[in-house]
Each structure stands twice: as C-alpha cells, then as structure tokens.
Structure 1
C-alpha cells in the first residue's frame, strides 16, 4: 500500500474500486456512528432514570423501559436529521461522539443540580448551544436545543420534580422552555464568530434574555405577585432569574476557555481556528511565498474566487478561502516543475518522459498531505489537498504519451498513470476550490483575457467538470453552479482584464 493511500485511508476511511476502475470513498464510519448512538441511548436512559434522592435510585422496570423507548425515538429523530441535513455527523464518529457526550454531560449536570437542591436555571443549556453552534452550525445547534430540552424534560418525570417544587412555584419544564429565546440568541450570536472575546457579549445578552423569559413565564402563572420581592415566592423567582443571568454571563467565559481545548481533543475546526490558520504570516504560507511565489499568488487568486463563490451560495466562505490557501502546498517540494513557477523558456518537463512528468505532478498531493500533517493543519483543510484535483486527467502529458505510443506498438498507455487518484470533492467548499483552481489556471493561459473570453472559458470548464463526473459526490446544485459561474466570471474579469495601452510619450512631453 502506497504512502498516499495510507494517508487518504486515515483521513477518509476505507476505499473500494468502482465500475470505472477509480477508487471511491466508502462511508464505513457510519457504522461506528450508529454504534455510538446505541451506546449513548443506554447511557442517557440510565442518567435520566437515576434518582439519588429516592430510596430506590432506579424506577420500576416499566418506567425504565418507557424512558428507553422515548430516548430511542429522540435518537432516531437525530439520526434522520443528520442523514438529511448534516451528513458530516453520520460519517465522523469523533464529531457524533462530541455531540452525544455534550448531551450526556448536560443530563448529569441537571441531576447534580437536583441532588444539591440548586437552581435549575443554572442548567448549562446556553453553553451547549454556543459550543455546538461554533463547532458545527446554527441549524444543528437549534435542532439539538429542542432534543436537549426533551431529554431534560424526561428527568422531571423521573420523580425529581416534587422535590424541586418545594423551592419554586413553577415546574422545571417551564424553566427549560424559558431558555429557548436566550439559547437561540446565543446560537445566532456565535455563528461566524471572528473574535473569542465576542463570546463574552453573547453570553451576557443570552443571560439577560433568559432572565426576562423566566419572569415572563412567572407572570403568566403567578400574576403580579411574581414581582413582589417581599414574598417568599417573589424572592425565589428573582433568585431563579438571577441565576439564569449569571448562567449566561459565566457561559461566555467558560466557552472562551473551552473552545481551544475542544478543538484540540475532538479535532473540530471552528471559524476561530480557521481564522488563525488563514493568517498569511503562518510559517507554511510564508515558506510558500518565498520558495514558490507563482504557486503562492495562484493560491491567493483561487482563494478570492472560492470565497466570493462560497459567499454567494451560502457555503462556508472562510473554509473555502482557507482551504484554497493550502491546496497546493505540496508543490513546495519541487516548485520548478510547475508552470506558474517556471521562469525559463524550456521547462523541466522538456527533458522527461510524459509518464515521469505525470508522476512528479501527481506527487504534490502526497507531499501536500505530509506537509499539512507536519504543520498540524485541521483535517477539514487537509481534505482540500487531494479533493481539489478529484480524479482529473493530466491531459497534456496523456496526449504526449499517446503521440509517442503511435510509433511504438509495444508501449501501452494506461489512463490511470495520467489521472489523479482522488477522492472527488465531497463538499461544496472543496468543489468550489476544485473549480476555482481550474478556471484560474485557464484564465492565466488566455492570450486575450477579455470579459467575453473569460466567460466562455469558465462555462466550458464547469461543463467539462460536470460531464466528467468530478462533481458527483458533492452537494452543489445546478443553481449553485450557475451562481458560482457568475462569481468566477466577475472576479476573473477584474483580475485578468485587458488594459488599455497608452501611446508612448516622448522625452520632451514628459519633461
């Protein structure tokens, strides 16, 4: 097994050979994710049913079975959601483990609050919402919020609520419901966050909203007496709302400290991490600018193209831009063998056979993965290195080999020798960089890069990629491709437009 195959298997999982003879990714990690979901269903059941305040810490078998069925239904709903809207979870055991572990810790934290007779408004729902939103997406965070509230609602039916109503006039499920506005604010505030300190503001605002929501619910059920601090109930309500505000405020500090830790342990790439990696002063990018300046400037242009297109179709523009910065870092090992870095009339490939040239060109994928891992780049960035080529054909060298083979009947040309091993782009972001890389190289080679020629070039390249099946494994729609095409044409026209030549001036005119 080759070095590159081992690296790709480590990154993407096992492969099989398809009908076209090209290796394709098989999402076998889904089975591991399923096993994790089953395991956590049992753990959730035990955590929900456990009641240290009662003589019998576990309920009757019928009730226990009811909890198990209820939690299994919730887990099934989560699985269906992930399959349809967030496939990244089903194919990444470490990420589904992160989500399921957060839910388990949330349940245990509520059990601890019940055990010490604390305030249920200190439940870390705002914290879990922020972490999921920053690590994954706003949609997933809001969906998980309702799953979590349903799980916590089961706890109050396990014999705990009667202990808790001695402290508060409002049942705990309503308190959990009061968290919804604050958590949604936290989710919206933490999406595409660019500064860790902003999490502090998000936490405070969410705490204020939860404070108001708790008072609003108490006014509904208790009337104006809820505002009377002279009564026991009024003081209890104020304490509950006050702890909710403290919850949000503390959450901002805790989330700021937890995110770097979680990024390291679970290898989750947040926008904050991507911002750090996208700094052009990063050692690897500085090295690229010094040793392969042509590749470096090519990468910057591809990044501009990818960011613009991703922004317009609603993909992760920061991820696309950062991935574009690093997609060609493997060229650092032999920069002189790539056209953008050749400064001589006769290139290095003029002295090599087509198959040897193809071997050197394709090797930059393996070299790039090795460099990326050495510099500890996030896996989500490393995926851009092999996927930005997909299973493209090195057409120039393939044609050269075919021409040479006509004069030598014994010399059989294998198409696989001149085709990248893949995998094909598996996300919108890697697909956009895949297209941007090709259109930038094509536009650079145009003799007359005027708007009309650029538009024709971009359309031809996108149609060629589509017909070649390079976009089969990503979720770009035809509508997305039309938007991407327009974005590419606009950016490339600005970069490679033809300048109006000024007439030469005489020395006398300039004096």
Structure 2
C-alpha cells in the first residue's frame, strides 16, 4: 500500500474500534452510532482497492476491468458481512449456540462458494487472489483467529480448484460435494491443533456443511451476477448453444449459409481448444454467434450467394469494404441487444483482428497506386484477439473459408492450406496480444486440419440407376 492509503486505513481502523476492540473505540463512536459500520465498509473497500488494483497491474493473467473490480469488491464485502453475521448471530440463537464454542462458527463462512463463483465467471488466477483477500477480511470478522484464516484459505482454494469446467448445474453441485470432505478434514484438524478436542466434532460437521452448500449458494448467486455484471458462465453458454435461441433461429432462417459456416467453425474451434487446453464450450458457442452481424445483409457475403451472381461485381472496392467491415460492429451491437455476455461480445469484436480484406484489396490496387486509397483502409478496425479462445476462432474462421474455396481438396491440400493461413495470420501480427505459443499454434493447426479433412472428404459417385438409394 502507499503511505497515504496506509494512513487512511489506520484512521478507519481506529473508528472501527467499536466493532472489534471495544476498549479502543474512539469518541466518535458514542456521538455517531453508525460510524463503526461506515468506517468498516470504507476500510474494507480501501483494502480491496489496493489489493485488486495491484493484482490488475502486475499479475499477467489478471486484467481487471471496472466491472470485474466492482464485482470482486461486492463479493468480498458480502462475504465479510456474512462472516460477521455467522459469528455474531448464530451464537445468540439458543437452540444452535448451546454447547457449541463460538469460534467454531467460523467454519461456516461460505468462502468456497464465492471462490467457485469467481473461478467460473472470471478465471483461476483471479479466484486465488480473491480467496486470499476475502480470507484475510473474513478472518478479521472472526476476531482474527489463526484457525479461521487457515481454514478460509484452504477451503476457498479447494472450492476454486474443483470448479475448473462447469458446463451444467450438476457439475457445480458435484464440485461442492467434492469440496465438502476437504473442508471437513481441514476444520477438524485445525480445531484440534489449536484448541484441543472439545470442538472437533462440530468443526468437522460445520466444515462439511459449508462444502455441501457451496454448490447451491454459487448457483443461486450466479444468475444475479450474470445479469448485473454481464458475465456469461459455461452454464449460460450451454443455454445459448441451443438452436431454440431466437438469435440462432434468425441466423438459420435469414442467413442459412452463414449459419452452416458458423457451425463448422464451432466444430473446428472446439477441436482446437481441446488440443491446447482452452475453453471448448466458449469456443463452440462464440463461434455460433461470431458472424451475427451479417443478419440483414446476407446477400453481401459469399456463403449466402449460392446460385446467384456476386453482388460485389457491380460495386466499387470502397463500398464493398464498408459493407464487409460493418458486420463486426453490427455483431457487437446485436450481441449487446440480446445480452450474450461480454465473453462472446469480445470474441465477435476480435475475430478478424486488424486483418486485411485481401479480395477487395486486390481490386483496389489501381486506386492505391494512384494514391486514392491506402492498404490500411482495407483492414478491419480490431482489436486483435486478447484471449486464446478468440485467437482459435480467428484461425478456424479463416481456415474454413479458405478450404471451402478449394472445392474437393485432398487431405494434403487441406493441411497445406491451413498451415499457410496460420502462417499468414501469425506473420501479420494478429496473435501478438494473446497467450498462444508456437506449440499451441501447431496443435491448433493439426486439430483444425484433421476436422476439415474429414468434413471436406469426397463422396462416391453413384450410377444413374442407383441414385436415390441410401448412402
């Protein structure tokens, strides 16, 4: 923390004295009854600001937007006050508090659920940072006891570790079930180590209950977080993948060629994601929506021009350029209108990066030579892919279009075409802002080539007499 932040934090802690240290309460506590709660909130907010601000600047895979920061701070504050409620209120309930040491209630603080939620909605690195920050704050609510802090760190990490891929609600519940034994063992051993055997049974029970409830709690909070902050969990993505979604229905009916292209790109992207350990669900679903900006202008895109003349033959290169480039911006607008979530919207914006429109660039060569146009005018506006999933979809999209133009290619031709497309995109600098390595590129290219070779295989020509038979 900076010196100024530390000084403000010290003042707020002094005002908060009435909450933790009654003897240290300042004179303001008697004058303003709510000063403790206000100072408490400000102190916690300041701590989270410094913690997540530093992480966002210095940790490579933690790039927190304002939305992420607000979400994490809201969760941490909610968990903090939930911890105070668990410690203070349950001890006052006669039916619950009889014979149960007050300290044992700390094992009910639901940090595994919140850590799982952050892992599912953001990423693993952020969930660990959140677990550390929330554990420190919640342990403070439990009067700063070491067993509580160690339990919160361990159980939060266990919950986050078991929420790696959660494509449906059953998996989320199972993640909670798998977390329960870890929480129970951690609570029992910590209680025995620090306080002897008096509260071990209750500690184990409360730890187990905490783990079992983490799945349902995360499922209850997740829709609220998705709606309020624009996130899209894998569970939400699976719902968006259904062809009954109104936007996919429109895509099927109004732009059937684009829909077929998107389905193939989704299959390629999913295979590429599996090859390098990226998120296959996000790749497949985002690919289904990556070209929704073509709705309303289907006739301007080659996959929808079967049996008709190419409308661009009668247009200037500049006008063709404007129409084609606009589908990215329009796709982002439609994604916001249908609330597809930021992960899909970002991929729609990034799936062409700042690549060139090579077809119309060749037509515009005379204009460029006469200095009436420039090559940069025929580039997409970007941004370049920021994630591995966005990069995979860019590669799959370009590879599918290139191979489709070959007609009936052999497997060797498919492999050569995919390799040339990947090399061109890499040398153009389109992958400079994502975490794909050369090894990843090779693995993605191999997976895409295998799927495209299978999709593009030729069929046996049936004799006239046999046409119409099964096969």
Q: In the alignment, does 2:77 pair up with 1:104?
A: yes
Q: Does 456-465 or 377-386 show the bigger shift?
A: 377-386
Seen in structure 2, the aligned counterparts of structure 1 residues 333 and 81 have a Cα distance that, compared at 3 Å, is: closer
> Offset of 1:88 from its aligned partner?
2.9
| 1:388 match | 351
CA distance in 2, matches of 1:99, 1:137: 12
| 1:87 match | 62
Matches within 5 A, 1:283-302: 283-302=246-265
TM-score for the superposition, normalised by structure 2 = 0.82
CA distance in 1, matches of 2:26, 2:437: 51
| 1:278 match | 241
> Offset of 1:143 from its aligned partner?
4.0
Q: In the alignment, does 2:126 pair up with 1:140?
A: yes
> Offset of 1:155 from its aligned partner?
5.4
Q: Could you tell me whether the CA contact under 8 Å between 1:303 and 1:322 is conserved in 2? A: yes
| 2:113 match | 127
| 2:463 match | 504
CA distance in 1, matches of 2:300, 2:205: 66
| 1:52 match | 19
| Secondary structure at 1:190 match in 2 | coil
> Would you say how many aligned residue pairs link Structure 1 and Structure 2?
437
| 1:446 match | 406
| 1:369 match | 332
Seen in structure 2, the aligned counterparts of structure 1 residues 397 and 58 have a Cα distance that, compared at 3 Å, is: same
Seen in structure 2, the aligned counterparts of structure 1 residues 54 and 397 have a Cα distance that, compared at 3 Å, is: closer
Which residue among 437, 441, 448 is the counterpart of 1:477? 437
| Secondary structure at 1:269 match in 2 | coil
> Offset of 1:154 from its aligned partner?
4.9
Q: In the alignment, does 2:282 pair up with 1:319?
A: yes
| Secondary structure at 1:194 match in 2 | coil
Seen in structure 2, the aligned counterparts of structure 1 residues 311 and 46 have a Cα distance that, compared at 3 Å, is: farther
> Offset of 1:381 from its aligned partner?
0.8
> Offset of 1:74 from its aligned partner?
10
| 2:216 match | 253
Q: Could you tell me whether the CA contact under 8 Å between 1:48 and 1:107 is conserved in 2? A: no
TM-score for the superposition, normalised by structure 1 = 0.76
Q: In the alignment, does 2:454 pair up with 1:494?
A: yes
CA distance in 1, matches of 2:10, 2:456: 59
Measured against aligned partners, the alpha-carbon deviations of 1:16-65 in whole angstroms (never above 9, x if no partner) come to: xxxxxxxxxxxxxxxxxx99xx79x94996499544364345489xxx9x
Q: Could you tell me whether the CA contact under 8 Å between 2:268 and 2:448 is conserved in 1? A: yes
Q: What runs of 5+ residues in structure 1 fail to find an aligned partner? A: 1-33, 162-171, 227-232
CA distance in 1, matches of 2:212, 2:256: 47
Q: Does 193-202 or 490-499 show the bigger shift?
A: 193-202
Higher RCO, Cα 8 Å, sep 6+: 1
Seen in structure 2, the aligned counterparts of structure 1 residues 110 and 49 have a Cα distance that, compared at 3 Å, is: farther
Q: Does 95-104 or 200-209 show the bigger shift?
A: 200-209
Aligned-residue CA RMSD in angstroms? Answer: 3.4
CA distance in 2, matches of 1:102, 1:412: 55
Measured against aligned partners, the alpha-carbon deviations of 1:275-315 in whole angstroms (never above 9, x if no partner) come to: 11222221111111111111111011111111111222122
| 1:265 match | 228
> Offset of 1:148 from its aligned partner?
3.1
| 2:34 match | none
